[in-house]
Amino acid sequence: MPNAISGFSKLSKSEKIEWLLDTYFTDKEAARSLVKNYWNTDKKLQKLHDEFIENTITNFYLPLGVAPNFLVNDKLFTIPMAIEESSVVAAASKSAKFWLDRGGFKTEVISTEKIGQVHFTYSGSFEELQMFFEGVKPKLYTSTSDITKNMERRGGGILDIELRDKSQDLNNYYQLHATFETLDAMGANFINSCLEAFAKTFKSEAQQQLSGDLDVVMSILSNYVPNCLVKAEVSCKISELASKDISNPELFAKKFKQAIQIAEIEPYRAVTHNKGVMNGIDAVVLATGNDFRAVEAGVHAYASRSGRYSSLTHCSIDNDIFKFWIEIPLALGTVGGLTSLHPLVKFSLEMLEKPSARELMQIVAVAGLAQNFAAVKSLTTTGIQEGHMKMHLMNILNQFEATTDEKTALIEHFKTNVVTHSAVVEAIEKMRN
């Protein structure tokens, strides 16, 4: 068991690496070589990466792929996707091509409201607190004037501040519940700065005016944004669903709708169903420098808003029209944070023709819908493993360090044979023997 270390953050990058090698690795040279192989040869770029987080030792790469042929509101996009999972980019591309000739994707931003809260306790009566809040509310806005002036100049800012009584859930617990419009910024720093200014003013005024004790617990934005919503959908006549792998469009539409209905009422299925949605969403969120953890948390909370975890996507068949759609909360930004720092994020945003935050919301929602369509289409026709395992074949071959000639031969072999891990291992061993 290694000993604890003091002052690790103060060590140089090289010293941190040497401590790790001395403490945890038997083959120090191989480990050192691996770490250094992932450094960027451009020293300026490597320094930029080193300063994104703390205690950096090297870079951890993800593939950046692209999915072309996305027709969104009659405009063509090639969508960047940063992800490590086989078949995701291929599935998104296949969905894009499928819907390209059937009208493409239609999207709309429903709302862009974001939320932050000052959480506090108060020992006095709610009636006294309510009267105090109404009187101090204008001062809360004034306390943030230096923070909000630039945002207000562009059309954003603080939309409202409410006092919420949560004392029935937790003794003496109340909130200042504030709503914001942050335009093209994700807005976390802006919202948190406003909230801390609210808290300071609120507590200062309370000490002078209230009879009870008021104590601020914390001030923080919420990643649950049920009023920062975007909708994406596809639709066509049922007969137009016919394709190379859909010989009976009526049966396909019926089974597809049933699969969605199952995900709407069965949480065990809904979790995996929504994971497929997030394959598409997270990949674009990551490629565009946004916070996929915040998006994931908010999306899954939204999927549970009825009290039961349910599908993010929905399907209807009315008057011979097949319709498939998603309505999802997405708090995204196209300015600030990594969007102006990470070279590949800037590359991705330029590929998307430098979208506004509202436009990016629509593109990301489309990626999620496309990914889910591809998954459910596979599940209700050929089965998920046929396509996924063929895409996963290269990972297995690389795991066994297959040569170029071996890869060529085995890829050809598995065009007409079922891909499983054991089948690939058996084929490699047979070829090598």
* pLDDT tens-digit series, residues 260-285: 999 999 999 999 999 999 999 999 99
What is the percent of the chain where pLDDT is above 90?
85
CB 302 within 8 A of CB 226: yes
Determine the pLDDT at residue 424. Answer: 78
Provide the pLDDT confidence category of residue 407 given band limits of 50, 70 and 90: confident
Would strands 75-82 and 64-72 be described as parallel, antiparallel, or unpaired?
Answer: antiparallel
Determine the pLDDT at residue 392. Answer: 64
Q: pLDDT tens-digit profile of 1-23?
A: 788 999 999 999 999 999 999 99
> Lowest-pLDDT range, 48-62, 211-225, 298-312, 385-399?
385-399
For residue 277, what is the enclosing H or E element? helix 267-287
Secondary structure E strands in 114-213: 114-122, 157-165, 173-181
Sign of the C-alpha dihedral computed for residues 202, 205, 210 and 213 taken in this order: positive
Pick the residue with more confidence: 395 or 114?
Answer: 114
Q: Is the pLDDT of residue 389 over 90?
A: no
The structure tokens 């083959």 sit at 27
Determine the pLDDT at residue 250. Answer: 97
* pLDDT, average across residues 371-394: 77
Helices within 38-168 (DSSP H only): 43-50, 88-100, 126-143, 145-153
Q: pLDDT tens-digit profile of 154-196?
A: 999 999 999 999 999 999 999 999 999 999 999 999 999 999 9
* pLDDT, average across residues 240-258: 96
Q: Give how far Cα 89 sits from Cα of 41, 66, 67, 207, 233, Å.
A: 28, 7, 6, 57, 19
Q: What global pTM score does this model have?
A: 0.89
Determine the pLDDT at residue 261. Answer: 98
Secondary structure E strands in 166-228: 173-181, 214-222
Instruction: Count helices and strands (H / E) in the chain.
Output: 15, 10
Q: pLDDT tens-digit profile of 344-359?
A: 999 999 999 999 999 9
Provide the pLDDT confidence category of residue 388 given band limits of 50, 70 and 90: low
Distance, CA of 60 to CA of 239 (rounded, Å): 47
* pLDDT, average across residues 358-364: 98
End-to-end, the C-alpha distance of the chain in Å comes to 43
* pLDDT, average across residues 223-235: 98
Determine the pLDDT at residue 408. Answer: 80
* pLDDT, average across residues 219-248: 97
Q: pLDDT tens-digit profile of 70-113?
A: 999 999 999 999 999 989 999 999 999 999 999 999 999 999 99
Determine the pLDDT at residue 340. Answer: 84
Determine the pLDDT at residue 391. Answer: 59
Q: Is the pLDDT of residue 387 over 60?
A: no
Active site residues: 85, 275, 291, 388
CB 326 within 8 A of CB 370: no
Distance, CA of 358 to CA of 72 (rounded, Å): 13
Helix (H, G, I), strand (E, B) or coil at 405: helix
The average confidence (pLDDT) of the chain is: 94
* pLDDT, average across residues 213-226: 98
Residue 171 token pair? 């003794």
Secondary structure E strands in 273-383: 313-318, 321-329
CB 428 within 8 A of CB 406: yes
Q: Which domains does the chain have, with CATH numbers?
A: 8-50 (no CATH), 114-222 (3.30.70.420), 228-377 (3.90.770.10), 388-432 (no CATH)
Q: Give phi and psi for 305, each to the nearest 5.
A: -65, -25
Q: Is the pLDDT of residue 384 over 70?
A: no
